[in-house]
Structures are given as C-alpha cells and as structure tokens.
Amino acid sequence: MRLATWNINSIRSRADRVLAFLERSGTDVLALQETKCKDEQFPRAGFEAAGYEVATFGLSQWNGVAIVSRVGLADVEQGFAGQPTFAAPTLEPVVEARAIGATCGGVRVWSLYVPHGRAVEDPHFAYKLEWLAQLKAQAEGWLTGDPAAQIALVGDWNVAPKDTDVWDLAAFAGLTHITPAERAAFAAFAAAGYTEVTREHVPEDRKYTYWDYQQLRFPRNEGMRIDFAYASPALAARTTGVEIDRNERKGKGASDHVPVILDLAD
C-alpha cells in the first residue's frame, strides 16, 4: 500500500495536479492539508470518478484537511478529542479544521495541519505548542494496550526538528519552527512510542519538503523539511521506503509543499 501526505495549498487550484499525482504514483491513500475550502466546496467528483472515496474537514478559506482513499475510508473523525480551540480577533474560539482521521486499508490515518505559530510572542505560538501537546496525549492513548495498532500521524507539522532542516539557520534566528519548545513538542511523539519514518528512510540533509514561493527558493534549494510521518511500532515495521516527490514543486501552479510517500508492506 502507498500512503502519501501533501500540503496542497488550495485543493480547488490544484485538483488536476493531485489526480495526476495519484495516477502516476499509484498512491492508495492521500492525506491533504491546507485544502482552503469548506466541505461543500471540495472538488470531490474527479476523485470519485477515479475510484477514491473522500473525507473532508473544512470550515472556511483557512486551513482545511482531507483524506482520499481507494482502499476503504471508515470511522471518520473531524478533529481529535481534546483538540485546543483558537480565537481569531473579535471571533469566538473554534476547533479549527486541522485534523481529520479515518481508517483506510486497516490503517488509522490522521491528516494533520499543525498551527504555524506566526511569531514566538504571538498567541498563535502558545496555541501551536498546546495543540501538539494535546495531540500527543491522545496519540499516546491510541497505542496503549495494542502492540499491533496501525496508526499514521502524517502531515505538515510546521516544525523543523533539526538545524539542517532549514536552508540557513541564521535566517531563522528569533523565528518559529526551530525553537527548542517546538522541537520538544515534536520529539514527544517519539518518546510516546511513535517512529518518524521519513527520517529513517531519508536521512540525508537538504531533503526539503517546502520551498517559499519568493526569492527563487526552489531553484536554489533553499527550503525547509517540515512534513513528516509518525508511525506506530507495527506500522513503522511495515514501512519499506519513503520518497519525497521533489518534482511536484516544479512548473507553473505548484504547491509550495511536495508529497511525501510511504510504501507499506502488505
């Protein structure tokens, strides 16, 4: 089975690209982030015509996550238990559309769009840390008592765990994504028993998953590695390979992130 994750930066702008990717890569289950549309606006028809089921969680033009699968899609959950809320200025707190779970081909898949944080002194940053802490608390519970659990926590984590996961550490001084607090929140999933399988299979430096649209970041390979896949022990044992599909950043109309693809043994 092939399981992929991709921050698509608007599904309505790139549905054709995603359909072509599914066909070319032979991906069975795709977790999407930043779909940037409400559920009723999601372009489902093309996916269903291609033989995929679709589960979405979108509330507005911000955030939005989805899972598409051709190996079954059951027990959909929009958001996770205990997911922190966020209050935009002048608005009531809401559970944002940043997490959706579904069981696909025997794997409990979570498509995750971790809050950005914006700036270390911004309320969004504390929200980010709490969001990760609460997700970790839930994810720890999903593992207990079931050594055979097949769980994949995949998506845009908005954390660069290693100094070499950004193109120039000095350029990030004082900014989010590289702080010890964020890295500790990310590492807590490993302490809880999950394995970050993309690092295991692609350990080399400068294997980025995101390049800013500005300042020729992609042709210069000045990117960030922030899209990851934490796997439960049984799922990690099944993971035979990982590919970061760098070619998807090329050309007109690319997302600023590329797909990360996991190969799972039957």
Partner DNA sequence: ATGACTCATTACATGAGA
Task: Select from 6, 21, 36, 107 the one that contacts DNA (CB under 7 A).
Answer: 36
Query: How many C-beta atoms lie closer than 10 Å to residue 159's C-beta?
Result: 25
Stretch that binds DNA, among 6-14, 21-29, 99-107, 236-244 (CB under 7 A): 6-14
Task: Select from 100, 135, 224, 236 the one that contacts DNA (CB under 7 A).
Answer: 224
DSSP string, 49-103: HTT-EEEEE--SSS--EEEEESS--EEEEES-TTPPPB--TTS--B--S-EEEEE
Stretch that binds DNA, among 141-149, 194-202, 228-236, 254-262 (CB under 7 A): 254-262
Q: What is the largest CA-CA distance in the chain?
A: 50
Stretch that binds DNA, among 44-52, 102-110, 214-222, 235-243 (CB under 7 A): 214-222
Residue 9 in the binding site for DNA (CB under 7 A): yes
Task: Select from 39, 46, 62, 187 the one that contacts DNA (CB under 7 A).
Answer: 62
> What residues are annotated to the active site?
113, 156, 257
Angle at 66 between CA 60 and CA 257, to 5 degrees: 90
Q: What SS3 state is found at 221? A: coil
CB-based contacts of 122, cutoff 8 Å, min separation 6: none
Considering only CA atoms, which of 181, 161, 175 is closest in space to residue 224? Answer: 161
Query: For binding to DNA (CB under 7 A), which residues are involved?
Result: 7, 9-10, 12-13, 34, 36-37, 41, 61-62, 88, 115-116, 118, 124, 156, 158, 176-177, 210, 212-216, 218-219, 221, 224, 226, 250-254, 256-257
